[in-house]
Structure 1
Amino acid sequence: MALSNFLLLSLTFQLLLLLRVSSESSWIAGDVSQIQKNLLESAKSPDVFDWMVRIRRKIHENPELGYEEFETSKLIRSELDLLGIKYRYPVAITGIIGYIGTGEPPFVALRADMDALPIQEAVEWEHKSKIPGKMHACGHDGHVAMLLGAAKILQEHRHDLQGTVVLIFQPAEEGLSGAKKMREEGALKNVEAIFGIHLSPRTPFGKAASRAGSFMAGAGVFEAVITGKGGHAAIPQHTIDPVFAASSIVISLQQLVSRETDPLDSKVVTVSKVNGGNAFNVIPDSITIGGTLRAFTGFTQLQQRIKEIITKQAAVHRCNASVNLTPKGREPMPPTVNNMDLYKQFKKVVRDLLGQEAFVEAAPEMGSEDFSYFAETIPGHFSLLGMQDETNAYASSHSPLYRIKEDVLPYGAAIHATMAVQYLKEKASKGSVSGSHDEL
């Protein structure tokens, strides 16, 4: 009888343990819509939302340019430490790579950029930039806050994750190829897919925009020095005028798009800088021009034609020209191309999470994003998260009047977390995890 009672108690204990494990893991194993609802509710909770707002404002007050994000990086690492999230640092000077989950495949990455811009903030508010001439005018402070918000939610359920979520906090997105440098230093090791979100003042609040295939153009810059022979403006026949040559070059460059590009293949060539001379009555010895080029296809050919036009037009006007296609080390950036399967997953997640009308089919953009370095290496998906309200008062990116609608932060955190959970869940259900790997 005693033995029978012991066996009964043993079986009861095992059953209770099984029910407890089942209950704890139901967050992942349960209904997908309920999982997403839980994630969004967690992101909107005061402890998570207020925490994200505090982080975002602290970063906004102390903006740092590319590869100089030491205090920003320090803040992120301190928060990861408090959350108990393991990470690797430094990567690409100031970058951080965090890990949540099993440490085993599959690995899926979430990315946020963290650098500011050399712009003097013109928005008057309590948390205005404290650093003269520097400002978070592109929303990267919000991107960091959203990714940390997702990390906080995921870390609370780390034992339920069916793989590993990789957190990529990236420096130097603004023209300094921070993503490329992180990639070169192993940020994508073992990672099978990557997702990125950018705040958008032109997309309605609470909606997310994306498209499959080419989303954002490849981008490059150029700089040229046109050299002639200066002299008095009253006797131009004794000079070789670089101003006239530069004017001809600027006009000729516009014909690259209007006369040499298929109207159905979008390209942009913009001369945005012309410097030279310092007196009204003196023709200078040289003029410096500079600008940008954007294209989805034929990027190298466009670069070559820019160089040819500058040098040959200068020669027509008896001047010499030197052309630099990577001034200050600014390398060309590839187009951002979204993977079709990840696009479909994102579209479904947004509709399930925020409502059927929340997803917006985006048009291709001539703006660029160095997320493209990640997406050309592994399947990637980049999206825009709207924060424009009915006033339409939000300035465009890179404006001194740029500001963030902080109510958008929970949506970004929830989308990040849901995309990671859903990706790992689908990979596990397909049983596609195989092969060797390096444990963390």
Structure 2
Amino acid sequence: MGFLVLIRAFLISNLLVFCSLPICSDASFSSVSASEIPEKFLNLAKSPEVFDWMVSIRRKIHENPELGYEEFETSKLIRAELDKLGVKYKYPVAVTGVVGYIGSGEAPFVALRADMDALSMQEMVEWKHKSKNPGKMHACGHDAHVAMLLGAAKILQEHRESLKGTVVLIFQPAEEGGGGAKRIVDAGILKNVKAIFGLHVSPGLPVGKVSSRHGPLLAGTGFFEAVISGKGGHAAIPHHSIDPILAASYIVVSLQHLVSREADPLDSQVVTVAKFQGGGAFNVIPDSVVIGGTFRTFSKDTFVHLKMRIEEVIIQQAAVQRCNATVDFLSSEKPCCPPTVNNEALHQYFQNVAGDVLGISNVEHMQPLMGSEDFSFYQEAIPGYFYFLGMKNETKGKFPSPHSPYFEINEDAFPFGAALHATLAARHLIEIQTKTPLIRDDHHDEL
């Protein structure tokens, strides 16, 4: 009996000592439940160490905007920060892209993506960190996207020993019409990756809120350019000419009929002619006219049909006016982008995680938009989910929409984006491990 009392006393004393030990800042996920990860990561993202670091990175990138496939300095900055964090990466991928790896280097794999190219426009916002590259500006928030993904990388790297697999960080070039995502996919980066997540800042959504939906979110988009050739001459004797301006005018009107008179009203489509160039004098009919524009749909079948009809209308309407026409869909320069369609299972997963990070009342449902995103190339290859992150703050005034020379970023949104990135990846790895057996043959030698 005395021996049992002695053993009991020994066990109790050791248990008390163990319980009094402090929990280190990078405690493993096993020390907290999956539901506690969101709060922990959000607190880390809000800490001055992470938040101020993200802000400084974003401002450096904003000062030095680079167009698609020209993001050499941006890529250099990203690689320097990953080196400081001790994150392994591949470079170059798709010309200027960087792909980092955090975790075990083994399956399962989940990916996070940020685009990093700027737009060809002159910044009109006067502030300390205004673009130093004339005619180039981060007018769509890609500088913020990079900063938040790096913030997520910092958080995940501190917990790398506890990740139940590998997080793939994709810093992608040329989202603005250059098909950078397609090149990333073609490079084989998504091999064995189970899911991918991406975000975009939204000036119309309050800070601390997100919005998305399952199914079609953004439209597929294509571009076209047509040359209508006639016979130039003096404006005073038009009967000696074949007027390509008149022919092009008929073509523009006829193209609008494709949506108003041929499309199912419940099948959303857009055809816009935004380019019309011809002639340079008031009294001279030119030899040719160039028109160009974009077309958008939510259905791949509709997209193919609309593309065919655009070409038919341009060529045949030109012929009616005695002109010739050639149509170029610019597939090499501006690859057609498929619709952005969110995976239904990932939608439910996102709702749960975002609700835990932000509060369920801050997770909103949105209607589809006719804008486009080359994130859709990833979604054609693997399950993917894309969402919008709020950055509106009424006290700071109205934020102009993306692609405006007056576009601004509310940096207060950064902790929410970084925490969501990190939590979506970390918890998804846990869920995959729970649902499916490990495949140890899948690995990345970078780690």
Shorter chain as denominator, the TM-score bin is over 0.9
Residue of structure 1 aligned with 2:193, choices 177, 191, 194: 191
Inter-CA distance 356–97: structure 2 relative to 1 (3 Å threshold): same
Moved more, 298-307 or 388-397: 388-397
Partner of 1:3: none
Displacement after TM superposition at 1:28 (Å): 4.5
Aligned mates of 2:356, 2:293 — CA distance in 1? 43
* Preserved contact between residue 222 and residue 327 of structure 1 (Cα < 8 Å): no
Q: What is the CA-CA distance between 1:24 and the residue it aligns to?
A: 6.4
Check the 8 A contact 2:107/2:443 in 1, yes or no.
Answer: no
Q: How does 1:266-277 map to 2 (within 5 A)?
A: 266-277=268-279
2:75/2:96 contact within 8 Å kept? yes
Inter-partner Cα distance in structure 1 for 2:322 and 2:416? 59
Output aligned runs, 1:6-405, within 5 Å.
26-297=28-299, 298-326=302-330, 329-390=333-394, 393-405=398-410
**CA deviation map 1:332-382 (0-9, x unaligned):** 111111111111111111111111211110111110000000011000000
Q: Deviations over 1:283-329 (max 9, x none)?
A: 10000000000001111110000000000000000000000012662
- CA-based RMSD: 2.2
Q: 1:362 to 1:350 in 2, by over 3 A?
A: same
Distance 1:434 1:319 in 2: 62
Residue 121 of structure 1 aligns with an amino acid whose one-letter code is E
* Distance (whole Å) between structure 1 residues aligned to residue 109 and residue 204 of structure 2: 32
Query: Contact 1:270–1:291 at 8 Å: present in 2 too?
Result: yes
TM-score (ref. length: structure 2): 0.93
Take 1:172 and 1:351, find their aligned partners in 2: how far apart are those partners? 32
Structure 1 residues 28 and 207, CA gap change in structure 2 (3 angstroms): farther
Q: What's the offset of the Cα at 1:63?
A: 0.2
Q: 1:436 to 1:235 in 2, by over 3 A?
A: same
* Pairwise CA distance, 1:20: 9.1
Counting matched residue pairs gives: 432
- Structure 1 partner of 2:6: none
Q: 1:331 and 1:24, CA in 2 relative to 1: closer, same or farther beyond 3 A? A: closer
Choose 345-354 or 99-108, whichever is displaced more. Answer: 345-354
Look up the match of 1:5.
Answer: none
Cα deviation code 1:128-187 (max 9, x no counterpart): 000000000000000000000000000001111111000000000000100000111111
For 1:294, what is the secondary structure of its paired residue? Answer: strand
With structure 1 as the length reference, what TM-score do the two structures score?
Answer: 0.94
Contact 1:66–1:176 (CA under 8 A) maintained in structure 2:
yes
Q: Match for residue 416 of structure 2? A: 411
- For residue 433 of structure 1, report the CA deviation from its aligned partner: 2.6
> Relative to structure 1, is the Cα distance of residues 23 and 409 closer, same or farther in structure 2, using a 3 angstrom cutoff?
closer
In 2, the alpha carbon distance for the partners of 1:28 and 1:285 equals: 73
Contact in 1 for aligned 2:106/2:440 (Cα 8 Å):
no
Distance 1:144 1:351 in 2: 23
Find the aligned partners of 2:25 and 2:438 in 1 and give their Cα distance. 25
| Paired amino acid for 2:293 | G
Unaligned runs of 5+ in 1: 1-7
CA distance in 1, matches of 2:190, 2:46: 30
Secondary structure class of the residue paired with 2:394: coil
In 2, the alpha carbon distance for the partners of 1:371 and 1:34 equals 29
Q: Measured at CA, do residues 356 and 438 of structure 1 come closer, stay the same or move farther in structure 2, by a change above 3 Å?
A: closer
How far, CA to CA, are the matches of 2:436 and 2:400 in structure 1? 46
Q: Does the Cα contact within 8 Å between 1:106 and 1:192 map onto a contact in 2?
A: yes
In 2, Cα distance between equivalents of 1:396 and 1:328: 28
TM-superposition CA deviations, 1:15-49 (whole Å, max 9, x none): 969x9999965535522332111100000000100
Give 1:84 shift.
0.3
The answer to whether the 8 A contact 2:107-2:440 is kept is no
Q: Distance in 1 between matches of 2:112 and 2:331?
A: 31
Structure 2 gaps of 5+ residues are: 1-9
Distance 1:407 1:87, change over 3 A: same
Task: Tell me how far apart the structure 1 counterparts of residues 74 and 26 of structure 2 sit (CA, whole Å).
Answer: 35
1:389 to partner: Cα distance: 2.1
